[in-house]
Amino acid sequence: MSYRVAAFTDTYLPTVNGVSYTIASWRERWERSGGQMDVVYPGADGHSPADGEHPVGSLPFPFYDGFRLGTPRVPEAVRDAEGVHAHTPFSLGLGGLRLARARDLPLVASYHTPTSEYAAYVSPTDAIASLVGRASETYERWFFRRADAVLAPSAATRDHLQNEVGVDTTVEVVPNGVDVERFRPVEPDDFLDRYDLRGDRPLIGYTGRHGYEKRLSELVEAAALLDVTVVFGGDGPARAELERRADDLGADARFLGFLDREEMAAFYSALDAFAFPSPVETQGLVALEANACGTPVVGANAGALANTIDDGETGYNYESGNVEDFRDAIERTLAEREELRETCLARRESMSVEHAVEKLQDVYDSIR
């Protein structure tokens, strides 16, 4: 393949999240296959762009720590692209739309974040949150209707786009995919020693942004009455409150902070179960990374996690918001860990990023 794509995104490395890792892994596999994928993203201090990476001017986003708003400009270096892929409908996504319209290029748009679901966390009152949510869905509908194809990482997210947001453009399910070369079962002894995690208790863990929308306090509450150690990787605005809550409940909770990408396979492999209470995921990439390492997942039956977790096969779902049900699902997962592990490992190839990029190419080919 020699197709040259200009990808526009509001979040990219070194920012740590599922979207930035997905774009980076897609780009690496796309270029490994002979194509070119330039990335336009908000610039940040301390990050030197590699070839094909084009940072633009940006400002901090005041309502969501760690994110930046990039100016919706089109760098000269990507104006000869053959196609445009917008990974956001906002800010830089508008730059991608401008380029596609100015050059009459096909436009693919990915839906990564349920913006209306996050409204409550950036709004001071329920009334304002409702208004922000409705406004964001109206805007998303306007943007996605201008794309030649829309990508959703899961069937649940596709249904949300079509039935709730009202997008009538073709919506294709293209999973983000997991780097199964990186995420595989490994010996976790060094990791356990480095973070002093050895002990007789099962290890239950989560890694990712410690945002209030992730409902990580439910994990602390569920684990407090179990004989387990809870391990948190990552960081975010809810961390201090989580630490206080763990102390108040007497939960054995360890907060490791940001983990190097090279440590993640050992982190997942060290766990007896991965716990994911977030109800606002569009796929839940970290759940699939855990599965690729042979670790079953306990997650909310809301959003995409209801589909990402194959209940009774790769982990268990629980009723979102029900801490007692969460606790029961953790116990069930621990009791069946070995059987669940075997199923997770048997499905590694089906969740690979290579499989995802093959589907991505099919979409690109269909609209060229």
| CATH number of domain containing 137 | 3.40.50.2000
* Tally of structural domains, the chain: 2
pTM across the whole model: 0.87
pLDDT at 336: 98
DSSP 202: P
Same-domain pairing of 12 and 157: yes
pLDDT at 104: 97
Same-domain pairing of 101 and 214: no
Q: How distant, in Å, are the alpha carbons of 217, 244, 332 from that of 247?
A: 12, 5, 26
Same-domain pairing of 262 and 298: yes
Q: Report how far residue 337's alpha carbon sits from residue 199's, in angstroms, rounded to the nearest whole number.
A: 18
Instruction: Please write the tens of the pLDDT for every residue from 3-26.
Output: 999 999 998 988 878 899 999 999
3-class SS at 228?
coil
Which secondary structure element, helix H or strand E, spans residue 171, and what is its range?
strand 171-173
- Across the 368 residues of the chain, what is the mean pLDDT of every consecutive 10-residue run? 90 85 95 96 82 90 69 94 96 96 97 71 64 84 96 91 91 95 96 96 95 94 96 94 97 96 96 95 92 97 90 97 97 98 95 94 95
For residue 231, is it within any domain? yes
Same-domain pairing of 146 and 9: yes
For residue 149, is it within any domain? yes
Same-domain pairing of 260 and 289: yes
Same-domain pairing of 37 and 167: yes
Same-domain pairing of 8 and 30: yes
326 in Cβ contact with 222 (< 8 Å): yes
232 forms beta bridges with 206, 255
3-class SS at 160?
helix
For residue 72, is it within any domain? yes
pLDDT at 103: 97
For residue 236, is it within any domain? yes
Range(s) of the domain holding residue 250 = 189-350
Same-domain pairing of 124 and 211: no
Same-domain pairing of 234 and 318: yes
Q: Report how far residue 354's alpha carbon sits from residue 199's, in angstroms, rounded to the nearest whole number.
A: 37
For residue 281, is it within any domain? yes
Instruction: Please write the tens of the pLDDT for every residue from 58-68.
Output: 887 766 666 67
> Taking the CB of residue 94, how many other CB atoms lie within 10 A of it?
19
126 in Cβ contact with 120 (< 8 Å): yes
> Taking the CB of residue 108, how many other CB atoms lie within 10 A of it?
25
Same-domain pairing of 96 and 203: no
Unique residue bearing structure tokens 């976790």: 188
For residue 183, is it within any domain? no
Angle at which helix 239-249 crosses helix 216-224, to 10 degrees, equals 10
Same-domain pairing of 249 and 304: yes
Cα-trace Rg, the chain: 20
Same-domain pairing of 99 and 8: yes
For residue 184, is it within any domain? no
pLDDT at 18: 84
